[in-house]
Structure 1
Amino acid sequence: MTRVNIEQIEILNTTKKDFLHYHLYPRLNRKQQTFVVLADTATLMHAEKDRIYKQIVQSADYVVAGGEGIISAAKYKKEPFKERIEAYDVMLDLIKFAQVQGLSCYFLGGKDYINEKAVLEVEKMFPEISIAGHHHGSISIEDSQIATNMKQANPDLIFVSLKKAKQEQWIATYKNQFQKGMFIGVGDSLELLAGEREQTPRNWKKLNLEWLYRLLKKPSRFSQTMRKIGFLLRLVLNTTKLG
């Protein structure tokens, strides 16, 4: 497996199709416990300032490039990724696979009403899907009761949609209590499913301008966006010097 090292994090270089068919689907069929990180710029930024979080990401079975910033950074390293693998798309493909294979899904995250709407949308899109359970994301990582209830539900797929870093921290805290399960942090995917957040048009994505589209839609993101751009510029400059 080819990987690209960015900030000491090994990121699998593959396409979504190959990732699903050669890695995730076989592990689901074997009921092999799996931890997946769909990394973006925020992942790298948090890993830089939080050593424990960085170790959590490094411990994942798979880290793939889920954000446009990582794609751009890899180009400057002259190790371009084959494809950006977005959380929302991966989640829908996995749910479809679960329906066909008779596997069950659990959805953790989002505000209470968003979680409810997202699950209803899943049931509408995939009428034969087995929902093992769901819970909103207004939780404390220290609250072990959610993991206890989830374990009793025995899901095959656990989609965790919490704030960046928190979702991976939750998974790392509790995944070893389970005999099986594919744990995957999906960011704002439940909001997209629930229709509470608009997807970026593909034309903007092709131009690597998703950040600008989101900024225009929500100007309050300005300072956050500038921090991300500053981080990526520093990453690129450091890579150029090393080269």
Structure 2
Amino acid sequence: MKINILDVPFDNYTETEFIDLFQKRIEQQEKTLVVTANPEIVMYAKDHPDYQELLLTEADFITADGIGVIKASNMLNTPLKERVTGYDLFLRLLALAEQKELSIYLVGAKQEVIDVAAQKIRDEYPHVKLVGYRNGYFDLEDRTVQDAIIEQKPDMVFAALGFPRQEYFLKSLKVKLDKGYLMGIGGSFDVFSGTTKRAPVWMQNLHLEWFYRLVKEPTRFKRMLVLPQFIQEIKKLRKG
């Protein structure tokens, strides 16, 4: 079931339900593009029709990566089951890849970050087939990046390029692959490598992860201003 929030259709599944769905699609070699969307992405789509079109026509699944999306769904009386973050999905899918000996390809972050992330996967997930990785500093028009991935035919591709760049990259890549689970995961390689610390579990449980990130990265303040704008748009919808 889809839950519409400002014209972005979110899939209403728990994290475990998503993983079960994704596992079946990977096993059946169905191409799958997943977008993990927060209020910032929803508002960006509202102002950028081409990105909105990508979400509507190219994304196979959209998860609620942001407590603001969950609160909005409740305000609109169409509640989503739970927040499902890109980072949590990444960890669950790494565990799946370890169990099933699947192949993965990583794209994104700085070179020193992706190097650490790749080594951590080799150390902690020895049965995962890491068939390639590279940093995120390239032009989207540089076809050698896509060609390298296509040649390896990975079961899963994780792109940590930040939105909307990662979604445009994966959309273009999806067309050229015969199979593959594709997901944009923002700054997840930084967290996975230990370069950036995730909020303590108690703050995550209180839905204060956004506040922790703001304290650690004050430069995010301008980006955070989109949240009250998002809530205002939801209130307008509710009144309408």
TM-score of the superposition, structure 2-length normalised?
Answer: 0.96
1:4/1:10 contact within 8 Å kept = yes
CA distance in 1, matches of 2:219, 2:183: 28
CA distance in 1, matches of 2:142, 2:78: 41
Give the alignment of 1:175-186 within 5 angstroms.
175-186=174-185
Deviations 1:137-162 (A, max 9, x none): 01111111111111111111000100
How far residue 125 of structure 1 moved from its aligned partner, in angstroms, is 1.6
Give the alignment of 1:187-206 within 5 angstroms.
187-206=186-205
Give the letter aligned to residue 196 of structure 2.
R
| Unmatched segments (≥5 aa) in structure 2 | none
Deviations 1:60-82 (A, max 9, x none): 11111111121111111112211
Residue in 1 that maps onto 2:234: 236
1:42/1:164 contact within 8 Å kept = no
CA distance in 2, matches of 1:219, 1:52: 30
Residue in 2 that maps onto 1:154: 153
CA distance in 2, matches of 1:90, 1:206: 17
How far residue 110 of structure 1 moved from its aligned partner, in angstroms, is 0.4
CA distance in 1, matches of 2:115, 2:29: 27
Give the alignment of 1:107-118 within 5 angstroms.
107-118=106-117
Deviations 1:87-144 (A, max 9, x none): 1111111111112212100000001111111111111221221111001001111111
Residue in 2 that maps onto 1:50: 48
1:73/1:235 contact within 8 Å kept = no
Give the letter aligned to residue 178 of structure 1.
L
| Unmatched segments (≥5 aa) in structure 1 | none
What percentage of residue pairs aligned between the two structures are identical? 28
Deviations 1:156-204 (A, max 9, x none): 1000100211000101122110101111111111111111111112222
CA distance in 2, matches of 1:217, 1:123: 29
Give the letter aligned to residue 124 of structure 2.
M
Residue in 2 that maps onto 1:29: 27
Give the letter aligned to residue 123 of structure 1.
R
SS of equivalent to 2:13: coil
CA distance in 2, matches of 1:84, 1:216: 22
Residue in 1 that maps onto 2:119: 120
SS of equivalent to 2:104: strand
RMSD after superposition: 1.2
CA distance in 2, matches of 1:222, 1:112: 26
Residue in 1 that maps onto 2:96: 97
CA distance in 2, matches of 1:71, 1:64: 10
Matched, 1:215 2:214: yes
